[in-house]
Amino acid sequence: MSRLFSPIARSVEQIGDRTFLCVLLISLAWSAVVFVSLHVAAVWAVHRVLALHGWLAWWADVLASVGASFLASWLFLPVAAGIATLFIERVARAVERRYYPMLPPAPGASVLAVIADGLGLVGRILLLSLLALVLALVLPGIGLLLAWAIGAYAIGRGLFMAVALRRFDRATAERMYLANRPAILAQGGVMALAAYLPGFNLLIPVLGTAAMVHVLDDAMRRAGWLA
């Protein structure tokens, strides 16, 4: 049990790290830009399409804002995941400097690989989130549980693969994922739960990435690649 949850615990211990705080502030700023843009675009679209005036225009603005807020909450995980892919290298290096200074520098993934994985992760989470939303509406209670499980899979696998690709080719990273799936999904489960908690959900890109660095290090040691 300690092996399953120690990575996220060690990540929380490092939350005061300057690099972590910097990435968190940048992620927060970009998320705010995205969500404010959604609200402005929704209200503008309603005015443009409906061309209403008076109290009808006011109600249309209110409904557009509510709809945009709902859309923004649904899009949070994909947006956070996309932001995370931009700063994975920075967060991973901060974790390795503190806990694993003996590791050789990671070659890092190519720019194209980072972009492809980021877009793939965002697309996968969007589709799975849509499926989870439908399930939550059709199967109240059970749907929420399924939504959490889907989020755990999407976040866990996506962030682990992004971290593993810093050091290994895709085939090796896939094998490591399969060999360490329980630990990976445990971190994803915690992150998916945090997604339901305002404030804590902002920590997903940083803590999730850091946790996967710990999972990867443990996987390499268990495979005999590290002393």
Token pair of 64 as six digits: 């557009």
Do 92 and 205 contact (CB within 8 A), yes or no? no
Q: How far from chain centre, in Å, is Cα 55?
A: 40
In whole angstroms, give the CA distance from residue 151 to residue 50. Answer: 36
Question: Would you list the domain boundaries of the chain?
Answer: 2-222
- What is residue 199's predicted lDDT score, i.e. its pLDDT? 67
Grade residue 17 by pLDDT with cuts at 50, 70 and 90: very high
Average model confidence (pLDDT) across the chain: 79
In whole angstroms, give the CA distance from residue 193 to residue 211. Answer: 15
pLDDT of 26 strictly over 90: no
* Tens-digit pLDDT profile for residues 116-152: 776 776 777 677 667 767 777 777 777 778 778 887 8
Q: How far from chain centre, in Å, is Cα 129?
A: 12
Grade residue 62 by pLDDT with cuts at 50, 70 and 90: low
Average of per-residue pLDDT across 186-209:
81
- What is residue 100's predicted lDDT score, i.e. its pLDDT? 92
In whole angstroms, give the CA distance from residue 57 to residue 39. Answer: 15
Do 204 and 194 contact (CB within 8 A), yes or no? yes
